Chains A and B, each alone.
Chain A
Amino acid sequence: MPLGAYIAVSAALFAIGIVTIITRRNVLYILMGTEMILNAANINFVAFNRFGSNGLDGRMFAIFTIILAAAEAAVALAIVLNFYYLFNSVKPSEADLLRE
C-alpha cells in the first residue's frame, strides 16, 4: 500500500475528529473527537516511520502519544465532570463564560 493511502485515512480521521468537535452537542463526543485527531496523528507517525527513516522514532512517538492520550482522557473526563457540576448539563453550547 502506498503512503498516500495511509495519509488519506489519517486525513479522513482528522477531518471526522474536527467535525465531531465542532458539531457535536455533547462534551463527551468532543472528547472522542480529540481522540480521533490524536489517532490521526498516530497513523501519520507510524506511516512516515514505515516509509521514511530506518529507526523506531515514529513508532515510539505513536506509543508516547497513546500514553499521553490516556492521561489526557483522564484529565478531560475530570473537566467534563466539573463541567457537569457547573452547568448541570453536558452541552458545550451552554458554556459561554469565556465571553464574560
Chain B
Amino acid sequence: MLGMLEFNPELDFKLLLAVPLIPFFGYLLQISLRGRLPHGDKILTGGMFVVMCITVYMAAKAISAAHAGVPFLHHSEEAGMTHGWLYDVASQPSFKNLVIGVFYDPLGAAMLAVVGIVSFCVHLFSMGYMHGDKRYPIFFANISLFTFAMLGLVLSDNILFLFVFWEIMGLMSYLLIGHFSHDPSQKFFHSWATWASKKAFLTTRVGDVCLFIGIFIFYNGFQEFYATSAAAHAALPEFHPMRFTHMWEMAKLVVEANDGIYPTWMTVGGMFTIGGTVGKSAQFPLHIWLPDAMAGPTPVSAMIHAATMVAAGVFLLGRMFPLLSPDVLAAVTVFGSVTALFAATIGLTCYDLKAVLAYSTISQLGFMVAAVGLGSVEAGMFHMTTHAFFKACLFLAAGSVIHGCHHIQDMRVMGGIRKKMPITFACMLVCTMAIAGLPWFSGFFSKDAILLAAWGNLIEGEYFGGPPLLALICLSLGALFTSFYMFRLIFMTFFGEYRGDMEHHMYSAQLAAEGYEGPPPHGHDDDHGHDDHDDHGHDAHHGVHESPLVMTAALVIVAIFAIPGAAGLLNGWFTETVTVENMYGENVGAWVLAGTPVMEGTKEVLVGGLPMAIADHNSHEGHDAHKLALIVSSIVAFGGLIGAWFLYIKRRDLPGKLTAQFPLVYTGVRRKYFIDEIVDFTVLKPTVGFARFLRKVDENVIDGTVLLVGRIHKALGSISAWIDSTFVDGAVNAVGLVSQNLGAALRLFQTGRIQPYAAFAVGGGILTAAWLILS
C-alpha cells in the first residue's frame, strides 16, 4: 500500500503528462470532427474522470510523502523528461536555453487535484445543464481546452510556459463567456455575452501585459546576477532563469548578496508580476470583468470562479512568493484587503443570483491575495482550495436553481424552492455555511488561517498598524458581509414563498421600476422538448423542478469537501502537505520562513489542524493571535447569519426601510460604486475618443497626404503625357510624314515601264557627262 504511494518518477511523470493531454486530445478530436463525435460529451467527461482519478492519486502521493517527511519537489528531469526549447539539451547546456519539463510539488499537487475534481464535476453538470444548446459540442470542446490550459499551467516548471497557458486560458474564457453570442435565441444573454467576453479579454489583458513585463525584469535580473556571481555558480551549476525552483534559489542568493534587502529591480518586477494576479484574479481595480463573466453559461462561471482563471492568479502568487519583496507584499495586502471588503459590500445589494456569487468570488479572492500579502502563503493557497470546492458547488447549485426556475436569475422572483429542489438546497446550504465560515465547515479553517495571519502580523510585527491592520479590519468586515449576503441569498431563494407565480409581492414595485419584464422565453427548454425531462414531466413550464441526476451528482461531489468531517480531513492534509518548506524546498523555505516573522509563532497551530488547536490552545505560548482570530471569525460568521435571518426572515420590511433611510449609500453600493461608470468615463471614453481622433487623423491627414501625393503625381503625369503626345509623338509622326510624302513623290518616278527608266538612265548619263565636261 505504501509502495503504491511512493513517487516513482519514471511512471508518474508519464501519468502527469497525460493529465493535460487527455482534455487536449479531447478538444482536438471534438474540433477536428466539427463536433460530430458521437457521444462527444460523454467521451470528454469520461476523459475528465480519468484525469480526476490521476490527479487525486498523485495528490495522495504528495500527502503520503509529506506525512513521512520526505521532500516532495519533483522535476521531470529526474525521469529524463525535459525538452530543450532552443537547442538540444545534451549538446547545448547553456543557461540561455529554455529547458521545459513537468514540475510536481505539494502546491501543484493540491491545485491539480482541485482542478481535476472541479473540472470533472463541471463537465458532468454541463451534460445536464447545457443539453439542447445549439453549440453543445463546441461548448464541450472549449471547456476541455480551458481545463487543459489550467492543468498545463499548474504543471509548468517555468514561468514562461505558465504564461503561455495563462494566455490560452484568457482566450478560452473569452470564447466561453461569449458562448451565447452566437445564439440569438438566448435573448437575455445574446448581446451581453458579446460585450462581456470582450470586456473580460481586454481587462485581463492589462494584467497579462504587466505579468509579461514582470517576467522580463526577473529574467534579466537573474541572468545578470548569475553572470557575475560566483556563489550563484556554485549553488546552481546549471541555471535556467525561467524555472521556478531556480528562480527561488536565485532570489535567495540575490537578496543575501544584497545584505538581506530586496534590490529595487526585484520590487519593480514583483509589482508588475502581481499586476498579472490583479487582472486574472479580479482584484480592484481590474475586477470589473468578473461580474460580467456570468454572461456565459453557468458551468463556465463555476469553472472560471473555482478551478481555473481566477485561481491561476492566486496560484501565480504562490509560485512567485519567494521573489516578492516586503514592499510588494504590502501592496498585495492592500489590494486584497480593499477588494475583499469592497466586493463584499456590493454583494449585499445584488439581486441577481449569479451576481451575488460573482462578487463573493471577488471578495474571497481578496482574502486569498491578502493572505499571501500577509506572508501566510499557505493560508492563501488553502483558502483557494476550499474556495474552489464550495464556490464550484455554489455556482453549480445556482445553475441548478436557474435551470429549475427556467432561466430566471433574479432572486426577487424566487423564494421557497427548498422543498422543490431538496438536493440543490442541501448542497447550497452546506457550501453557504462553508463560505460564511461557520465552525468546522471548510471555509472556517481557511478563513480563520487568514485572519490569524493578520492578527499574527499585527501582534508580532514591528508596529501595530499599516497594511496588517487594514487587512484585519477589511477582512473581518468582509467576512461578516460574506456571511450576511450568502445567507441573504439562501433566505431569499429557498425560504419564504415562491414569488415567480405571484402577481404582487414585496419586490413587485421595485422590479417594475427597473423595467423587469417577467421571465425570459423558455428557449432552452423548447429546444429539446420534454424527452430528456421525464423526471419532471409535463409541469416543466409551470413549476420549479429538481435538476436531472448528472447535475445533482456533480453538486454532491463538490459539496462533500465543504462538510465538517471532510473539511477537517482536507485541512489536516493540506496544512501538513502544503507548507513553506514543502513548497519551496528546505533551503528556500527556511529562508522564506525567516523573512516572515509571523509564521514562526503560528505555524505549529496550523500544522495540527485547527480543531486540535482549539482544544489545546491554552497549553501553548504565543497563541493569542489564534484565540483572537478564532473569536473574531466565529463572531462575524454567526453575526452575518443572524443579521440575514433577522432582515430577510423575521423583519422583511426592514431592508426596504434601511435602503430608504440611506438612499445615497444604497445607490452607491447598488451601482457597484460606479466603478464601471468611472472606467467607462476614464478609460473607455478617452480610448474610444482617442480612437475616433486617430481615425479622423487617418482619414484627413494620412489619407489627405496620400491623396495629395496622388494628385501631384497625376498632375505631373498629365504634363508628361502632354509632352509625350506633343513632342515625342510629334517627332515620330513628323518622320513618318516626311517619309510618306517623299515616298509619294518618288512613287511618281516608279512607273514600272522600262522606257521611262531608260530615259532617266540616259538623262542621268547626259547630265553626269555635262557636269564632268563643264566643271
Q: Are A98 and B762 in contact (CB under 8 A)?
A: no
Q: CB within 8 A of A98: which of B752, B758, B759? A: B752
7 A-B pairs with C-beta separation under 8 A: A18-B758, A22-B762, A92-B753, A92-B754, A93-B753, A95-B753, A95-B754
A97 within 8 Å of B (CB atoms): yes
> What distance in Å separates the Cβ of B744 from its nearest Cβ neighbour in chain A?
14
In the complex, the 3 A-B pairs of residues with the closest C-beta atoms, listed nearest first: A99-B752, A96-B752, A98-B752
B751 within 8 Å of A (CB atoms): yes
Count residues on chain A whose CB falls below 8 Å from chain B CBs: 13
Which parts of B739-753 form the interface with A (CB within 8 Å)?
Answer: 750-753
> What distance in Å separates the Cβ of A19 from its nearest Cβ neighbour in chain B?
9
B755 within 8 Å of A (CB atoms): yes
Q: Are A18 and B752 in contact (CB under 8 A)?
A: no
Q: Are A99 and B758 in contact (CB under 8 A)?
A: no
Q: Which residue of chain A lies nearest to B753 when distances are taken between CB atoms in the complex?
A: A96
Q: Which residue of chain B lies nearest to A96 when distances are taken between CB atoms in the complex?
A: B752
Q: Which residues of A contact B754 (CB under 8 A)?
A: 92, 95, 98
Q: Which residues of A contact B759 (CB under 8 A)?
A: 22
> What distance in Å separates the Cβ of A35 from its nearest Cβ neighbour in chain B?
15
The distance in angstroms between the C-alpha atoms of A99 and B752, with both chains bound, is 4
Q: Which residue of chain A lies nearest to B763 when distances are taken between CB atoms in the complex?
A: A22
Which parts of A49-82 form the interface with B (CB within 8 Å)?
Answer: none
Q: CB within 8 A of B758: which of A22, A95, A96, A100? A: A22
Q: Are A98 and B753 in contact (CB under 8 A)?
A: yes
Q: Which residues of B contact A95 (CB under 8 A)?
A: 752-754
Q: Are B755 and A96 in contact (CB under 8 A)?
A: no
Task: Report B's interface with A, CB cutoff 8 A.
Answer: 750-755, 757-759, 762
> What distance in Å separates the Cβ of A88 from its nearest Cβ neighbour in chain B?
17
Q: Which residues of B contact A97 (CB under 8 A)?
A: 752
Q: Are A92 and B755 in contact (CB under 8 A)?
A: yes
> What distance in Å separates the Cβ of A75 from its nearest Cβ neighbour in chain B?
16
Q: A22-B755, A23-B755, A92-B753 are in contact. List 14 more A-B contacts (CB 8 A).
A: A18-B762, A21-B755, A21-B758, A22-B759, A22-B762, A30-B755, A92-B754, A93-B753, A95-B753, A96-B751, A96-B752, A97-B752, A98-B752, A99-B750
Q: Which residues of B contact A98 (CB under 8 A)?
A: 750, 752-754, 757
Q: Which residue of chain A lies nearest to B759 when distances are taken between CB atoms in the complex?
A: A22
Q: Which residue of chain B lies nearest to A22 when distances are taken between CB atoms in the complex?
A: B759
Q: Which residues of A contact B758 (CB under 8 A)?
A: 18, 21-22
> What distance in Å separates the Cβ of A87 from its nearest Cβ neighbour in chain B?
12
> What distance in Å separates the Cβ of A48 from its nearest Cβ neighbour in chain B?
19
The distance in angstroms between the C-alpha atoms of A30 and B757, with both chains bound, is 13
Q: Are B755 and A100 in contact (CB under 8 A)?
A: no
> What distance in Å separates the Cβ of A29 from its nearest Cβ neighbour in chain B?
11
The distance in angstroms between the C-alpha atoms of A23 and B762, with both chains bound, is 13
Q: Which residue of chain A lies nearest to B757 when distances are taken between CB atoms in the complex?
A: A98
The distance in angstroms between the C-alpha atoms of A68 and B69, with both chains bound, is 139
Q: Which residues of A contact B750 (CB under 8 A)?
A: 98-99
**Most chain A CB within a 10 A radius of its CB, from B752, B755, B762:** B755
The distance in angstroms between the C-alpha atoms of A99 and B757, with both chains bound, is 12
The distance in angstroms between the C-alpha atoms of A96 and B751, with both chains bound, is 7
Chain B's interface: helix, strand, loop or mixed, by majority? helix
Q: Which residues of B contact A93 (CB under 8 A)?
A: 753, 755
The distance in angstroms between the C-alpha atoms of A99 and B755, with both chains bound, is 13
The distance in angstroms between the C-alpha atoms of A100 and B753, with both chains bound, is 11
Q: Which residues of A contact B762 (CB under 8 A)?
A: 18, 22
The distance in angstroms between the C-alpha atoms of A56 and B750, with both chains bound, is 44
The distance in angstroms between the C-alpha atoms of A30 and B758, with both chains bound, is 11
Q: Which residues of B contact A22 (CB under 8 A)?
A: 755, 758-759, 762
The distance in angstroms between the C-alpha atoms of A99 and B754, with both chains bound, is 10
The distance in angstroms between the C-alpha atoms of A30 and B755, with both chains bound, is 9
Q: Which residues of B contact A23 (CB under 8 A)?
A: 755
Q: Which residues of B contact A100 (CB under 8 A)?
A: 752
> What distance in Å separates the Cβ of A76 from its nearest Cβ neighbour in chain B?
13
The distance in angstroms between the C-alpha atoms of A22 and B757, with both chains bound, is 9
Which parts of A1-54 form the interface with B (CB within 8 Å)?
Answer: 18, 21-23, 30
Q: Which residues of B contact A30 (CB under 8 A)?
A: 755
The distance in angstroms between the C-alpha atoms of A96 and B750, with both chains bound, is 9
> What distance in Å separates the Cβ of B769 from its nearest Cβ neighbour in chain A?
12
**Most chain A CB within a 10 A radius of its CB, from B754, B758, B759:** B754
> What distance in Å separates the Cβ of B549 from its nearest Cβ neighbour in chain A?
107
> What distance in Å separates the Cβ of B743 from its nearest Cβ neighbour in chain A?
13
**Most chain B CB within a 10 A radius of its CB, from A22, A30, A96, A98:** A22
The distance in angstroms between the C-alpha atoms of A22 and B103, with both chains bound, is 119
> What distance in Å separates the Cβ of B750 from its nearest Cβ neighbour in chain A?
6
Q: Which residue of chain B lies nearest to A93 when distances are taken between CB atoms in the complex?
A: B753
Q: Which residues of A contact B757 (CB under 8 A)?
A: 98
> What distance in Å separates the Cβ of A40 from its nearest Cβ neighbour in chain B?
13
Q: Which residue of chain A lies nearest to B765 when distances are taken between CB atoms in the complex?
A: A18
The distance in angstroms between the C-alpha atoms of A93 and B753, with both chains bound, is 6
The distance in angstroms between the C-alpha atoms of A56 and B758, with both chains bound, is 33
Q: Which residue of chain A lies nearest to B750 when distances are taken between CB atoms in the complex?
A: A99
The distance in angstroms between the C-alpha atoms of A98 and B754, with both chains bound, is 8
Q: Which residues of A contact B752 (CB under 8 A)?
A: 95-100
Q: Which residue of chain B lies nearest to A95 when distances are taken between CB atoms in the complex?
A: B753
Q: Which residue of chain A lies nearest to B751 when distances are taken between CB atoms in the complex?
A: A96
The distance in angstroms between the C-alpha atoms of A97 and B751, with both chains bound, is 9
The distance in angstroms between the C-alpha atoms of A93 and B754, with both chains bound, is 8
Q: Which residue of chain B lies nearest to A94 when distances are taken between CB atoms in the complex?
A: B753
> What distance in Å separates the Cβ of A37 from its nearest Cβ neighbour in chain B?
11
> What distance in Å separates the Cβ of A25 from its nearest Cβ neighbour in chain B?
9
> What distance in Å separates the Cβ of A73 from its nearest Cβ neighbour in chain B?
18
The distance in angstroms between the C-alpha atoms of A93 and B756, with both chains bound, is 9
Q: Which residues of A contact B755 (CB under 8 A)?
A: 21-23, 30, 92-93
The distance in angstroms between the C-alpha atoms of A98 and B752, with both chains bound, is 4
> What distance in Å separates the Cβ of B753 from its nearest Cβ neighbour in chain A?
5
**Most chain A CB within a 10 A radius of its CB, from B750, B752, B753:** B753
Q: Which residues of B contact A21 (CB under 8 A)?
A: 755, 758
> What distance in Å separates the Cβ of A53 from its nearest Cβ neighbour in chain B?
25
Q: Which residue of chain A lies nearest to B766 when distances are taken between CB atoms in the complex?
A: A18
> What distance in Å separates the Cβ of A99 from its nearest Cβ neighbour in chain B?
3
> What distance in Å separates the Cβ of B326 from its nearest Cβ neighbour in chain A?
112
The distance in angstroms between the C-alpha atoms of A100 and B757, with both chains bound, is 15
> What distance in Å separates the Cβ of A98 from its nearest Cβ neighbour in chain B?
4
**Most chain B CB within a 10 A radius of its CB, from A18, A30, A100:** A18
The distance in angstroms between the C-alpha atoms of A20 and B758, with both chains bound, is 11
The distance in angstroms between the C-alpha atoms of A96 and B752, with both chains bound, is 4
> What distance in Å separates the Cβ of A7 from its nearest Cβ neighbour in chain B?
15
> What distance in Å separates the Cβ of A91 from its nearest Cβ neighbour in chain B?
10
Q: Which residues of A contact B753 (CB under 8 A)?
A: 92-93, 95-96, 98
> What distance in Å separates the Cβ of B763 from its nearest Cβ neighbour in chain A?
9
Q: Which residue of chain A lies nearest to B747 when distances are taken between CB atoms in the complex?
A: A99
The distance in angstroms between the C-alpha atoms of A93 and B759, with both chains bound, is 13
Q: Which residues of A contact B751 (CB under 8 A)?
A: 96, 99
The distance in angstroms between the C-alpha atoms of A16 and B759, with both chains bound, is 13
Q: Which residue of chain B lies nearest to A19 when distances are taken between CB atoms in the complex?
A: B762
> What distance in Å separates the Cβ of A82 from its nearest Cβ neighbour in chain B?
15
> What distance in Å separates the Cβ of B478 from its nearest Cβ neighbour in chain A?
114
Q: Which residues of B contact A99 (CB under 8 A)?
A: 750-752
The distance in angstroms between the C-alpha atoms of A21 and B753, with both chains bound, is 12
> What distance in Å separates the Cβ of A12 from its nearest Cβ neighbour in chain B?
15
The distance in angstroms between the C-alpha atoms of A18 and B757, with both chains bound, is 12
> What distance in Å separates the Cβ of B362 from its nearest Cβ neighbour in chain A?
104
Q: Which residue of chain B lies nearest to A97 when distances are taken between CB atoms in the complex?
A: B752
The distance in angstroms between the C-alpha atoms of A98 and B759, with both chains bound, is 16
> What distance in Å separates the Cβ of A86 from its nearest Cβ neighbour in chain B?
14
The distance in angstroms between the C-alpha atoms of A23 and B751, with both chains bound, is 15
> What distance in Å separates the Cβ of B13 from its nearest Cβ neighbour in chain A?
99
The distance in angstroms between the C-alpha atoms of A98 and B751, with both chains bound, is 8
The distance in angstroms between the C-alpha atoms of A18 and B447, with both chains bound, is 139
> What distance in Å separates the Cβ of B766 from its nearest Cβ neighbour in chain A?
10
> What distance in Å separates the Cβ of B567 from its nearest Cβ neighbour in chain A?
118
